[in-house]
Amino acid sequence: MSPDAIRKVNVIGHLNPDTDSICAAISYAYLKNQVAGLETSYEARRAGAINRETAFALKHFGFKEPRLITSVAPQIKDLEITPLQGIPRETSLHVAWNLMRDTVHGTLCITDLNDNLQGLVAVKDIANANMDILDTFVLSKARTSYKNVLDTLNGKMVVGNPNAVIDRGKLLIGTTPEMMDGLIVPGDTVLVTNRYETQRFALEAGAGCLVVCCGANITGVIRNLAQERGCAIIITPYDTYAASRLITMSIPVRAKMIPEERIESFSVNTAIDEAQRVMARTQHRFFPVLDDAGNYMGVVGSANMLSYHKKHVILVDHAELSQTVDGIAEAEIMEIIDHHRVGTIETPGPIYYRCEPVGCTCTIIYEMFREYDVEIPTDIAGLMMSAILSDTLCFRSPTCTSEDVNAGRILAQICGEDPESYSDAMFDAGADLTGRTAEEVFNSDFKMFSRGNVSFGVGQASFMTKKSRKAAEALLEPYFADAAKAKDIPMIFFMFTDIRTQTTEMLYWGGNAQQLVKRAFNIKSKNGRAILPGVVSRKKQVIPALMSAIQIIQDEQL
């Protein structure tokens, strides 16, 4: 699909987002909106809960956290929704039938004045009502309005109030006084012809409404008597047979509709595959669609499911399938901006892919601002600086390059911050465990990887003091088993990195984890922990070492 047809592009970082992931999404979405045409808009999204370090940076520079997105699988909103108009609940079955015929839809949705869904009526509901000829109380049970009767019979009311309703009595055909004797009770609706004797007898027997067929006139005597007795009179051009068949179709659709609580309806946010499963187990052809506010907006059927608009996404700070949002295989990836290894995400065609061996994604984005000659606002500069300081541990990490240092210092000048003092405050905020659960801290920065048939996860947290690091270790270590079960992985490694000493104490869990640590780092470890002097980078120092160790072990087993 050409960019001209795109309405919105989501810029998304990885699951369990860190500061670079969030700040890169916001900064790159801003840059793209500056250089893109008006027909395309870019929005930063987050793929999980933000950590406290990131929250500190966002608050410091006046940003709200991006909206959450957990899946980019196609949703009902990505279909061509049929904008079928809803009908009021007092609409007659006759009008509903004609609408179905004219719109070629066998289903109509009943809504109120505020587009709240109230029910649904299908062809079979009207057919069943039309076949139920033995229910002679159908008009009164449904409290049918005289307006509906007049409209259905193309009638004219000569006596009575058209705004009134039929609330008692049955429906019958008046032939002769002899045949009606003893059949009419007060309130009945009686279909008659032009015979004066029949009309008068029905009135005197207490009829609530006379329907005079064949367009016959009534005398002044009949009119006066009807007014005296409070009996309505309607004249219809239809003959008695046609009128008797049509009048039952004047009942309101609310009497035969499926009520809202029994309807299978979809939100615009319902996944298409979920909607297809619902459709497969029901006999309805069309299903109501509700917008974000819960209001009715149209219908979808099986035919609508045949084509949909893919969601358009840009991925930042990752290229691993295990680290991205659900449904990515069904989305159209437009770009990837990253600084990690070439990962496992595949695309059906060529895309703009930019991956540079620098310490932070925001360093790449800073370069792109310069390439596009777009001025960097103070707040955006602050976010990109925060990301660079976070990923490079304030320029101490071995992943840090001269490009990172240059970008970080220039961005610090733009936003008016001192990198050292600001990073201390940011790292302290991230290390604060007050009110936090083990699960929350664990997922603050945890990524999953695989090599061959071996999968594992590596988390990392950075600390300015030994006290805060030890507190985090005590909180997280008992949670490792639960985390491995929740993420369905056999091994967990967690880096507790001391920024000042540039040392990592790695805690690990899993059957082969100790063997991997020994092979990867050539050290002895015990009790589920290993001291790694000079190791501070997950990307450059830990993941490659673990991957290599896994490969060696697999080769030995061949």
The CATH number of residue 237's host domain is 3.40.1390.20
Tell which of 380, 397, 429 closes a domain: 429
| pLDDT score of 3 | 43
For residue 540, give the DSSP letter.
I
The CATH number of residue 375's host domain is 3.90.1640.10
**Same domain flag for 261 and 181:** no
Type of residue at 213 = C
Instruction: Quote the CA–CA distance of 233 and 220 in Å, as a whole number.
Output: 12
User: What is the reported pTM?
Assistant: 0.70
- Could you read off the pLDDT of 307-351 as tens digits, one per residue? 888 999 999 999 999 899 999 999 999 999 999 988 889 898 999
The CATH number of residue 113's host domain is 3.10.580.10
485: left (phi over 0), alpha (psi -120 to 50) or beta: alpha
Q: Is there a domain that residue 26 lies in?
A: yes
Q: What mean pLDDT comes out for the span 293-297?
A: 93
| pLDDT score of 6 | 57
**Same domain flag for 373 and 419:** yes
Q: Is there a domain that residue 135 lies in?
A: no
- Could you read off the pLDDT of 13-31 as tens digits, one per residue? 999 999 999 999 999 999 9
Number of folded domains in the chain? 4
The number of helix segments (H) and strand segments (E) in the chain equals 20, 24
Structure token digits, residue 509: 């869990």
The CATH number of residue 450's host domain is 3.10.310.20
Evaluate the CA torsion angle 10, 11, 15, 19 in order and state its sign. negative
**Same domain flag for 291 and 336:** no
Tell which of 406, 429, 452 closes a domain: 429
**Same domain flag for 479 and 448:** yes
Query: Helix (H, G, I), strand (E, B), or coil: what is residue 212?
Result: strand
| pLDDT score of 286 | 87
Q: Is the pLDDT of residue 547 over 50?
A: yes
| pLDDT score of 343 | 86
Distances, alpha carbon 105 to alpha carbons 97, 160, 272, 287, in Å: 10, 36, 21, 11
Q: Is there a domain that residue 137 lies in?
A: no
**Same domain flag for 197 and 235:** yes
Closest CA to 209 of 253, 165, 176, 151: 165
- List the strands of the sheet with 332-338, edge to edge: 67-68, 41-46, 8-12, 312-316, 332-338, 352-355
**Same domain flag for 45 and 99:** no
Query: Helix (H, G, I), strand (E, B), or coil: what is residue 185?
Result: coil
Query: Residues 6 or more apart from 1 whose CB is under 8 A from it?
Result: 309, 310, 332
C-alpha angle 285-286-290 in degrees, rounded to nearest 5: 160
| pLDDT score of 128 | 85
Instruction: Quote the CA–CA distance of 469 and 464 in Å, as a whole number.
Output: 8
Q: Is there a domain that residue 493 lies in?
A: yes
Domain that holds residue 542: 438-557
Q: Is there a domain that residue 317 lies in?
A: yes
Q: What mean pLDDT comes out for the span 527-549?
A: 93
% of the chain residues with pLDDT over 70: 99
% of the chain residues with pLDDT over 90: 78
**Same domain flag for 70 and 107:** no
Query: Residues 6 or more apart from 382 whose CB is under 8 A from it?
Result: 57, 60, 61, 411, 415, 417
Q: Is there a domain that residue 136 lies in?
A: no
Mean pLDDT of the chain: 92
Alpha carbon 532 to its chain centroid, in Å, reads: 44
**Same domain flag for 530 and 466:** yes
Q: Is there a domain that residue 234 lies in?
A: yes
**Same domain flag for 302 and 314:** no
Closest CA to 442 of 482, 393, 489: 482
Tell which of 388, 408, 429 closes a domain: 429
| pLDDT score of 500 | 86
Q: Is there a domain that residue 215 lies in?
A: yes
Closest CA to 88 of 68, 117, 63, 62: 117
Report which of residues 135 and 383 the model is more confident about: 383
For residue 512, give the DSSP letter.
T
Confidence of residue 1 (pLDDT cuts 50, 70, 90): very low
**Same domain flag for 342 and 425:** yes
